[in-house]
Structure formats: C-alpha cells, structure tokens
Structure 1
Amino acid sequence: MLDPATDPLLDVLLHLLVAFGIGALIGLEREQSESAGTFAGSRTFPLFALYGALVALFFPAALPVALGVLVVPLTVAYVAKVWYRRDVGLTTLLAALLTTVLGAVAIHSPTGATVAVVVGGAVTVLLSVKDPIHAFADRIDETERRASAKFILVVLVVLPSLPDRSLDVLFGLNPRFVWLMVVFVTGLGFVAYLLGQFLGPERSIALTGIVGGFVSSTATTVSMAEKSAENETLYHVCAFAVVVASIIMFPRALIEIAVVNPGLLASAAPPLLVMTAVGVVAAGVLYWRTAADETVEPEELENPFRLRPALAFGLIFAVVLLVSEYANEWLGTSGLYATAFLSGLADVDAMTITLSRLAAEGTVSTDVATTGIVVAAIANTLVKAGLAWVLGSSRLGRLVAIVLGVVVVTGLVVLAV
C-alpha cells in the first residue's frame, strides 16, 4: 500500500494538484471578468499553472526559458485583444505569467506550496475587487496623493541616512530609532485610514469607531461629541463610537509593544486585554440600546501620512523618551509614573514605545513598564471622557464618563492584583 506521507509520486501529484487548484481559482475569477473572459479563463489558467509546475519539476534550469516561450503566444493574444476589443489592460496577461510562476513555486517544496496557496488567494481577491479599488482610488484627491508621496519619499530618503547609534549632541538619543518609531506609528494610522477610505462613507458606526481609534481616537471623540451637541437624540450611537475608538487604544498599544519589546507582552497583555474586554462589553450594551434609526455620518479623518504631524510626534516621542529616562534616574519609579500620566494626557503611543524600549534595555523592570503604560492609557482614557463631557451633550458626557470610568477602574484593579 502506498503511504501518502513517504511515497514521492503521491507527494508530486499532491503538489501538482495544488498548482492546478491555484490556476483554477484564478481562472474562474478571470472567466467572470468582462475584459479577460475571451483572453484566458477557467480552462487556460490551470494549464498555465501546470505548465510552470511541470517545467520546474523536470527542467528547473529551463524555467526562465519556458517563461520566455510563454510570453510569445501571450503577446499575440494580447495584441489580438487590443485590436478587436480596444482593451489595453495588462491585468490578465500579468496574471497568466504570475499563475505560471505560482505553479512552479507550488512544486518546489512544502513551504513553496503553502506560499503559492497564500499568494494565489491574495491574487484572486485582488483581481475580484477591481471596482471597489477603482472607487477607492477615485476618492483619494490629488492633495492626499501628494501628501502621501512626500511622506514616503522622506521616509525612504531620511531613514537610511540617519545614524543608528546614540548621539551626545541629541542627549544620547538614537535618531534612527526615533524616526523608525515615527514611521511605525504613522503607518498604523495610515493602514486604518486606507481601510476607512476603501470602505467608503457607508461603513457602519462600529467600523467608524475602530478606524478612528487607530487613526485618531481624539479626533473621533471630538467629532462624535459635536454631533451629539447638534442632535442630543444621537447620544447613544455617538457614545458607542467614542467608546469603541477609545478602547482600540489598548490593542494598538499591544501591537506597539509586540514590535518594540515582545518580551513585555506577557506582563502588559493582561491589564490591557481586560480593559479592552470590559470596553467591548460596554460598547455592546450601548449598541443594543441604540435605536435602529439612529445613524451618524462618519467623520472625515485626516491622512496620517503628513510630514508636519509626523515631525510633531517625533519631537514628542524624543522628549518623552528623554524625560522618562531622567525621571526614572532622578526621581525613581514615582517620577516615571508621573511622566507616564502627563504624557498619556496628550499621547499614549510615545509613552508605550518609550517604556517598551526602556524595559528592553533593562533600564526599568517589566512591572514598572507595564504599570507606566497602563497609567498612560488610563490618563488618555480620562481625556476622552473629559472631551465628551465638555464638547458633547450632557447625556453623552455622563454616559461616556460612566463607561470609560468603569474601564479605568478595571485597569487599576488588575494592576493592584
């Protein structure tokens, strides 16, 4: 009896089946595409994948030549498509070449098969969301595109040129680390911003709160407070958005900790996750109490890829890093906690990254770093409650203050245990 785990023939056939499946998946998507159906579809793409797999299996050195040979008929078919249909799109042509390469990757090794499946699935999704992607691109105006391009250019030019060492002239700061953290934090917000733009103005209030929490929970809180002040009957749905945006800060902090100092996660995760869980339950209650006809227009969040806010965060982060080090050295733990609270009033990210870095260097203990991060998060949560109280309706202020107050008390209790 053949053993699938040890028989080489069955292993090869299994990898060929994976290649065939990837080609069939992409082919089915292309079959349904108006511009690609006559060029290549559900039968042709599996053949592309098998072609790449068989060449890579028996003639691996000839794979580049085989791809070159395939380009000839693809070019003829593409020219015919342009001639008869006046369609100059290259998507299907490139998808065909990529499918051939994925077939070769699938036959390479078990890891290659896994990579091919993941990439093949991603390609299928990308091909199938043509209209939403084009609609998203149309919603990004020229100003936003220029701002993003400038920021990315500055990142690519500045980051490699900064020295990766502590400089006395900067009071011992490492300029590359500071700028790298600026890029990281801004990138988190930008990913959420892109998600919000991609989903469009019809996204749900829950997604509005989540996206707003990653881009700017303060801006989301201010926006919802103003909406509740204009129409007090919306205080439930506005409170829901504020609470969601506020509690997103906790998992966001965990992401930052995981990047800067993964060893701190075991200590920081319990209080932050408990606070998140309490906030999620409270948000669920608020959503359940929200009437079906209570809706608010999602706020317009500013593109985080702007140079001035990024530089401002870099300055804040550098100052917080220096002050925290000196506060810990001169005043001990109490001075560090005071710095965490004051810093958290304005920005949690700077303090989270700072304490994660100090714990990684051994300057502060894991427990002190965890407490400081939670203190900063609590301070920022109190700010959100204060903004809702001052700028929003009285009902919104009371409701948000109660919910976020419970979250804060929960965090303090977990720290004390």
Structure 2
Amino acid sequence: MDLIDIFQRLGLAIAIGAAVGVERHWRERDEPEGARIAGIRTFTLIGMTGGLAGLLDAVLAPGSLSGLIVASFLISVSVVLLRFGLMEARAEGSFSATTVIAGITTFGLGALAVTGEMAVASAAGAAMVTVLASREFLHGAIRRLTWVELRSAVILLAMGFVLLPLIPADPYGPFGGVSPRSIVILVIMLASISYVGYVAVRLIGGGRGDLIAGAVGGLVSSTATTLAMARQSELAANAAGPSAGAMAAGSVSLIRTGLLLFALAPTLAERLLPGLLVAGGLMLMGAIALVARAGPSSEADLPGNPFELSQVIKMALLITVIAFVARAASQILGDGGLYIVSGLTALADVDAMTVTVAGMLPGLPLDVATTAIGIAVTANMLAKVVYAAAAGSRGFALRLAAISLLALVSGFVVTFAAGLV
C-alpha cells in the first residue's frame, strides 16, 4: 500500500466509526455526560483503532504471525466495552448488548477497511448503521408479524440456503430437459416478491382498502384477485372500490412481468418492458382515479399468506409442466405450438409462461419469444375481463374492460414504436 492508499483506508475506518457514533449518540442524546458508554467520539476512535490495528498488523506481523495484533487489539477493546456495558446495565437495569456489539463490529470493520476490501467494509458499515437506526421500525414489525408470516420467512430462508445447494443443476428429461435448481431459484424469486409485498402492506397498515388489497393480490395472482373483486362488486353498493382493486392487481401483474423479464432475459425486456410499464401505469392511474372519485374505499381482506408451502409446491409443479409442454410443443409443432401453449396457460397465470419463455433463450428466436409473451399477456388480460363479466356486476366489468382495452392498445403502440427505434 502506498501512502495515499493508507490514508484512504484509514479515513474509511474513521468514517465508519463516526457514522455509527452519530447514530448511537443521537439515540442517547438526552443522557447527561458520562451516562453513555460510547458516543460519537468513542465510536470514531474505535473505528480508528481498528484501522490502526490492521495497519500495524500488515507492517509488523507479516506471514504466519498475521492477525495477532488485530486479535490483541480486539480483545482489549472488547474487554473495555464489556466492562462499561456491564456498569451501564447495572445502573439502568437494562439488558441491551447492542452498543457493545456495535463497538466490536465497528472495530472489525475498521480493520477490514485497512487490510481487506474497502467496498465490503463500506457496505457493511452502511448496513450496520441502517439496522441500528431502524430499531423502532424493526421492533414494531416483529410485534405486528404473525406466526404464519414468520414461519413462511423461515421456509424461504431454508429453501434458499439449505435446500437450494442440494438441488442438482443438470437438466433432466426429453426436449432439452428441465433443471431442478433453475426451477427452485425461480420459485424462490417469485415467492420472495409476493412475500415482501405482503409483509410491507401488513407493516404499513394500509392493507384494508380495495386499492392496497388489489395491489398485494396482484403480487400473488392477479387472476384470483380479479375474481375475488368481482364477487365483492356484487355485494358492494358501489363497484368503484372493487374495480380499483382489480385494476391495481392487473397493474402490478404487468409491471412484475416486465421486471421478471428484465431479471431473466434482458434482451427480451428491451422489447417488452416499455410497453408493459406503460400499460401497467395506465391501469394504476385508472385505479387511483376511481378511488379518488369514490372517496374512502370499502374494507377488503388481505389475501392469504403468499408463501405457504402448498402454494410454493403448486407454483413449482406449474412451472415444470409449462416448461416441458412449451418445449415439446415448440419442437413438435414449431412456433405455433408455443403460441397455443402461451395463450392457454395465460388463462390462469402469466408468470409461468414468462419464466418458461425466458428460460428457453437464447435457443428460441427473439421474435418468437416476444410474440409468445405478448400472446400470454394479452390472453391473461382478456380472460380477466371475461371473468369480471361472468362473476361481477355490470359496472365492475365495464370499468375493467375499458381500462384493460386502453392499456392493451397503449402497450402495443409503445412496444411497436420501441421496436422501430
């Protein structure tokens, strides 16, 4: 390390300590002098001490002795923090170890900033300050979360970090086969989106209105949400609220499809994302306009937990079957077979076909993939209008049909214009 690099790394160590110190000092700003074990000055010095320990270790203890100086400093800092933390706990009758752990972590990040990757140290420092500053939000979130939601989060983590590494990645079966690991990854991605949206609304506290319930329902299944809103429109005195919920569900579904394509197949997203965003934006504006004109929306129950294990299994089976049928139809019947599968599958769900077509690239021609996704999105939107007419009130069906037609036409125009550029 040259002199400039040393100053940069040591400066980052000091900055991390200062950032943590600001948060800790602000939280205990009303305490009198001497009543807190560590504030902005102490944490800044802890970060600097970690950086200096790393620097001394690199200079004085190379080779097999590397790490001894950092370990010695860490033990000393930990002992001091633990002693004063214990004194504070006895004086205040508290059992919080947050400040002590934050001090030890600050020392470690200061040492990492000097001896390791600066980007990792910087990101970890920012994450630590965010966690420390979010105490009220996190505590409130835990109080409001139910056991079902917590259990679902544990299942999600287990699937991602325990089950996924054990799943084989090689494809199995005819027509190119299906990779079990790819299916599990996609299932986790879809379920995570749904779960985060569900929990966010639970924590924000806006999940009682038709608009919010429809938007969250669109994360789970826009088709099922439309049917639920259609049934509600028959019972409601004013169908504007359920109509707004169905529009919000359709908007979220379109935007989510675009984001899935952006994550899975960027070349395909370049063609379809502008149109999907415009169509989804129009449906969302229509929903907001209805709610604003109708006044306070009627209450609507949130959909069930979007990450129940049964739903995950069904999603995995659906994606597997659709992937196999789409590949088989494409090879046996050509492009027309894929188009038929796209249209039929989208009568219930558009995500499975989106994931399947994206997974068939780059072996599938881009024009064919674009057409297949376009057919799936169109069929799904038209199917929801038909369901609305069959299960909902006349006003509900007319509103949804009008905004869906406007969104489809606008989306096609934007997609076509984007393809000419």
Superposition TM-score tier, normalisation by shorter sequence: 0.7 to 0.9
Question: Is 2:139 aligned against 1:134?
Answer: yes
**1:159-218 Cα distance to aligned partner (Å, 9 max, x none):** 333332233499933333323322222222222223223323479876655443323333
What amino acid does structure 2 have at the position aligned with 1:300? L
1:25 is aligned to 2:19: yes
CA contact (8 A) 1:189 1:304 kept: yes
Alpha-carbon distance between aligned partners in 2 of 1:36 and 1:71, rounded to the nearest angstrom = 26
Tell me the number of residue pairs that the alignment of Structure 1 and Structure 2 aligns: 403
Distance in structure 2 (CA, Å) of the matches to 1:269 and 1:242: 27
- Please tell me whether residue 410 in structure 1 is matched to residue 410 in structure 2: yes
Q: What's 2:269 paired with?
A: 268
Give the Å deviation of 1:9.
4.5
Structure-to-structure mapping, 1:4-403, within 5 angstroms: 9=3, 11-33=5-27, 38-60=36-58, 61=67, 62-108=69-115, 112=118, 114-150=119-155, 152-153=157-158, 156-168=161-173, 172-201=177-206, 209-233=214-238, 235=240, 237-260=241-264, 262=265, 265-284=266-285, 286-288=287-289, 290-291=292-293, 293-297=295-299, 299-360=301-362, 362=363, 364-403=364-403
In structure 2, relative to structure 1, the CA distance for the partners of 1:121 and 1:323 (3 Å cut) is same
**CA distance change for structure 1 residues 413 and 351 in 2, over 3 Å: closer, same or farther?**
same
Q: Which runs of 5+ in 2 are unaligned?
A: 59-66
Is the 2:25–2:40 Cα contact (8 Å) retained in structure 1? yes
Q: Which ranges in structure 1 are unaligned for 5 or more consecutive residues?
A: 1-6
Q: Are 2:275 and 2:413, in contact at CA under 8 Å, matched by a contact in 1?
A: no
- Residue 358 to residue 393, structure 1, CA distance change in 2 (3 Å): same
Residues 30 and 36 in structure 1, CA contact (< 8 A), matched pair in contact too? no
Following superposition, the deviation at residue 283 of structure 1 comes to 2.8
| Per-residue deviation, residues 39-94 of structure 1 (Å, max 9, x unmatched) | 32222211111111222233343223221221101111222122222211222221
**Letter of the aligned partner of 1:351 in structure 2?**
M
Return the TM-score normalized by structure 2: 0.83
Question: Which residue in 2 is equivalent to 1:3?
Answer: none
Contact 2:156–2:192, Cα closer than 8 Å, also in 1? no
Summarize the Cα distance change of 1:40–1:292 in structure 2 as closer, same or farther, 3 Å threshold: farther
C-alpha distance 267-177 of structure 1, shift in aligned 2 (>3 A): closer
- Structure 1 pair 232/39, CA: closer, same or farther in 2 (3 Å)? farther
Q: Deviation digits for residues 211-268 of structure 1, max 9, x if unmatched?
A: 4332333344345445544434360x543443233122233223333444x4xx2333
Q: Contact 1:151/1:307 (CA < 8 Å) preserved in 2?
A: no
% of aligned pairs identical?
29
**Structure 1 moving runs of 4+ over 6 Å:** 202-206
Equivalent pair of 1:250/1:273 in contact (CA under 8 Å): no
DSSP 3-state at the match of 1:50: helix
Alpha-carbon separation, structure 1, partners of 2:158 and 2:303 = 22
Segment drifting more, 366-375 vs 237-246:
237-246
Q: For the structure 1 residues 390 and 30, does the alpha-carbon distance in structure 2 shift closer, same or farther, using more than 3 Å as the test?
A: farther
Q: Distance in 2 between matches of 1:391 and 1:414?
A: 32
Which amino acid is the alignment partner of residue 82 of structure 1?
A
Contact kept? 1:192, 1:215, Cα under 8 Å: no
- Aligned-residue offset at 1:341: 0.9
CA contact (8 A) 1:272 1:411 kept: no
Q: 1:415 to 1:327 in 2, by over 3 A?
A: farther
**TM-superposed deviation, 1:343:** 0.9
Residues 175, 156 of structure 1: alpha-carbon distance in 2 compared, 3 angstrom cutoff:
same
Cα shift readout 1:374-400 (whole Å, capped 9, x = no counterpart): 221222222333344444443232122
Matches of 1:123 and 1:238, distance apart in 2: 42
How far, CA to CA, are the matches of 1:326 and 1:20 in structure 2? 60
| Alpha-carbon distance change, 76 to 349 in structure 1, aligned in 2, over 3 angstroms | same
* Residues 344-402 of structure 1 deviation map (CA, whole Å, 9 limit, x = unaligned): 11122211111111123x1x211111211122122222233334444444323212211
Residues 297 and 99 of structure 1: CA distance in aligned 2, closer, same or farther (over 3 Å): farther
Contact kept? 1:193, 1:303, Cα under 8 Å: yes
1:123–1:219 CA distance, 2 compared to 1 (3 A): farther
What is the root-mean-square deviation in Å for CA atoms of aligned residues?
A: 3.2
Task: Call closer, same or farther: CA 1:167–1:81 in 2, change over 3 Å.
Answer: same
- Letter matched to residue 346 of structure 1: A
Of 301-310 and 18-27, deviating more is 18-27
Counterpart amino acid of residue 284 in structure 2: A
